[in-house]
Chains A and B, each alone.
Chain A
Amino acid sequence: MEVKNLRKWFEVRRGFFSKPLWLKAVDGVSFALRPGEAVSLVGESGSGKTTLGKTVLLLHEPTDGQIIFKGEDVTHLKDKKKMMWYRRETALVQQDPFGAMPSFMTIYRILEEPLIVHKVGDKKEREEMIYRALEEVRLTPVEDFAPKYPHMLSGGQLQRVAIARALILGPSLVVADEPVSMLDASVRVEILNLMREMQQRRNITFIYITHDLSTTRYFSEWIYIMYAGHIVERGPTQRVIRNPLHPYTKALLAAIPDPDPENRKRFREVPPGEPPGLINPPPGCRFAPRCSRVMERCRKEEPPEIEVEHNHFVKCWLYV
């Protein structure tokens, strides 16, 4: 997948007669992913990460830029057949498993739905695929789980169903948006491990959207750090975490506690303020108002993206 200068702006009106404003949720994002690569897209609420994930899946229509998938330009896909193909090739796992499933359908029917919509197999073949999908996410014995309704399962179990549903058509690209944030701490690791295993076994390209940096190391080779609609730093996960370049990345890492009894004895050095709104942002670098290393140039011009070391990019005037 190749994404070039992608923008997704939403029109916002403050009153009936006021001029429309643009909420620039994704404002110039570029990256490329090879088959089977996993990337963590990290950002806080309001960074645009969910919008980016959904736009890549064409759940939002891009305002500008290009999305190229398996050599095809899918940016403004209108052809119905091609769209069906894209929907088979891609999938979404969302944060709230209970919100993502119809409460009146059994697990079996929920998993059957994508097969029905895409006219895959006959009744017998579907049954096999569904049972195999349940086994793959370790919801066994499958005959016990298949006839149950969502409310009968725990959050962790239901998220497994969501994963099974996402993978049942054999997609090449999966976007998981905060897939474990609503689950208990002790269950998170299990689900992340499961997703990682399946991703590697099936060679799926995976975009893992999260605000929890601590989990990214265990999950993806690449990491993209998002702030106010831009990817401000990207590179190999371990390198970015060990050697963060962008002041925002450094601030983010410094703000995250590890469980350490010494923490209570000292203050954390973090920038003041909060992430900016995305409506008609001021010129220049979006992080400038909070940046401890800010220079004149930062407030006037948006910085370009620079490759500082192999495959490690940063969008910051400090490195130009």
Chain B
Amino acid sequence: MIAYLARRTLATIPTLIGVSIVTFALIKLVPGDPAQAILGPAQTNPQALAAVRHSLGLDQPVTTQYWIWLTHLVSGDLGVSSQFRVPVATILFGKVGNTLILTVGSLVFAITLGLALGITTAVRRGSRYDRGAMFLSLVAASAPVFWIGILLSYLFSIQLGLLPAMGMASATEPSTPLTLLQHLILPAFTNSVISLAVIARIVRSTMLETLAQPYILAARSRGFSTRRVVLGHAFRNVLPDAINITGLQVGYLFGGALFTEVVFNWPGIGSLIYNSIQARDYVMLQGAVLVVSLVFILVNFGSDSARVALDPKAAG
């Protein structure tokens, strides 16, 4: 286990460096002259432009620029947002927290519904319920996340008035865990749909394999009820695979929250990225991409380690 952790950590370092390079390069991709952008198109005095370029460090070779940027990064300075005029770092971490809340909510939906669906369709293999559920999950997995969000928002919020459609908290009532939960349900479910479908599919297939095992027939021959056989014996042997696939989904859920946040106006890092694009706040965008990647890598590292801890064979 220790060996696995050490290996993984070592392997992550070059990846992190690579990510920082890519993120840095992204800003360099933006066409146009940043100095011109700051001073405005009217300013044509070459010295004024050169002065601004110098203050931005743009007259240095690219590698030096990267190094300067990296050192700032490591000390927590991610630059100043051009739309909010405050350091990027101060805004980012609160937003990450909100996205994590959304991710956890999505995970809960994905796991519980995915397991339930996977187990019940396996036990009722070939039935209309099974075929219907599998088809529906295929459709859901083929649909754009934002469209699902819009549809659900229309059905449950606008038509039925059951759940709020926007934001994380109510504008009128004080914020309580209950109101948070209310606001969390639709976006969390929307974000979970694809993972739900994947988990259901894998659980179903593992379940089918397990149900064909001799010890399941033997258990039934001992007069065990279906519930005891399925939950006590079949499920127990399906669990490792289920945990495996869930671990793989966690990172995806975090990184894929962007569309959900936009549709439901959830104040997380996805919304932030969207707004930064609209406002051409590239510094914020860069910081956000970096932080999301970092969290993505950490989350995957964590879930992979948990998987290996539970099932040492997975370390391969």
A binds B: no
* B interface list, Cβ under 8 A from A: none
* A interface list, Cβ under 8 A from B: none
